[in-house]
Chain A
Amino acid sequence: MTRIGEKRIHEVRTRGGNKKFRALRLDSGNFSWGTEVCTRKVRVLDVVYNASNNELVRTKTLVKGAIVVVDAHPFKSWYEGHYGVKIGIKKGRVDAAAAAAAPEEEEKKKSSHVLRKLAARGKGRTIEDAIDHQMASGRLYAKITSRPGQSGRCDGAILEGPELAFYLKQLKK
């Protein structure tokens, strides 16, 4: 029932006088990146997989457990601000990015305190290959964990690790 589009939510009076928020159209949600503990409000771009019914993928219906494609830019800019490292650079563009980064850094001088903080955060910092790829294209795979027809919100979590590998394999089929 909940499609992608400009936000349209109907309030329903339920048993006991309580409210339910039936989302008919949603375009964004609060998605969290588990391993980095970073949650951002991002736009939902497309529904890509549904374990229960392929029809729901065709009609782009947002339900709990559906795999969607989400805008990566807020996460990318948070990561680059937090660690001071650029991610999601495509292979051909590495030289171009390095050349562009050099003059920029000369403009913004970071204090030694900031540099020390970045170095401490950089220790043990790893990024999954699959997520790096997705950052390059600006789109991340995420799973919806809220119930849009009940709460009126489309919240979820970015797919990572074994779960991401599993769904990438399912998408290939």
Chain B
Amino acid sequence: MPRLATNYKECDQHERAYQAQDAIFVARKRSVSAKKVKPMRWVKNVGLGIKTPDAAIEGNYVDKKCPFTGNVSIRGKILKGLVISTKMKRTIVVRRDYLHYITKYRRFEKRHKNIHAHCSPCFAVKEGDIVTIGQCRPLAKTVKFNVVAHEAQRTKTGKKTFRMF
């Protein structure tokens, strides 16, 4: 059972501005005799039966776009797809394959759509993994989804196979 940290652990400060969660008062005086100790990390339950990962609760990263430790809500569509690229900073490209029916020939054709999704540091995502993404408010020009669950792939099916979910 992961527990919320009671001691403040600063995250790696790579930016020029101080990175900290909005909801936590970092400079709070921790009294010696406090009976109820307030945690120094803010985590929320995303809802819709989604389990918040241990890495989000125990970690000390700061990501305002993370669905568990940041200020975004997951609502609308929940989709599943295959990860094809993880080269962007904290965002990934997810590929969704589907079959489109041509009425004249009574057959199907393969089509796909790429979706850009924000990927929180609590998920260690590699290319070829299966990922569940949830719709959220626009986070960037092309990013309107957020990674909400992750299923690593051991078998090297790679990112070129057609897989419908």
Cβ of B18 < 8 Å from any Cβ of A? yes
**Given A51-B15, A51-B17, A167-B18, A162–B28 Cβ distance below 8 Å?**
no
Residue of B8, B16, B26 with highest tally of chain A CB at under 10 A: B16
Chain B interface size, under 10 / 10 to 19 / 20 to 34 / 35 or more: 10 to 19
B26 touches A162 (CB 8 A): yes
Cβ of A166 < 8 Å from any Cβ of B? yes
Cβ of B54 < 8 Å from any Cβ of A? no
Complex formed: what's the CA distance from A62 to B27 in Å? 24
A35 touches B18 (CB 8 A): no
Contact of B27 among A35, A124, A170 (CB under 8 A): A35
- A residues sitting closer than 8 Å to B (CB atoms) are 34-35, 51-52, 65, 124, 126, 160-164, 166-167, 170
A-B pairs with lowest CB-CB distance, top 3: A161-B27, A51-B17, A160-B27
Complex formed: what's the CA distance from A145 to B16 in Å? 17
Complex formed: what's the CA distance from A34 to B29 in Å? 10
Contacts of B20 in A (CB 8 A): 162-163
Complex formed: what's the CA distance from A160 to B10 in Å? 14
A170 touches B31 (CB 8 A): no
A34 touches B13 (CB 8 A): no
Contact of A161 among B13, B15, B26, B31 (CB under 8 A): B26
A-B contact list, 22 entries, CB within 8 Å: A34-B27, A34-B28, A35-B28, A35-B29, A51-B15, A51-B16, A51-B17, A52-B16, A52-B17, A65-B17, A124-B31, A124-B32, A162-B18, A162-B26, A162-B27, A163-B18, A163-B26, A163-B27, A164-B27, A166-B13, A166-B18, A170-B16
Contacts of B101 in A (CB 8 A): none
Complex formed: what's the CA distance from A54 to B67 in Å? 32
Q: Which residue of B is nearest A169, CB measured? A: B13
- Nearest-neighbour CB distance to chain B for A92, whole angstroms, equals 29
Complex formed: what's the CA distance from A162 to B25 in Å? 11
- Nearest-neighbour CB distance to chain B for A12, whole angstroms, equals 26
Contacts of A124 in B (CB 8 A): 31-32
Complex formed: what's the CA distance from A167 to B15 in Å? 11
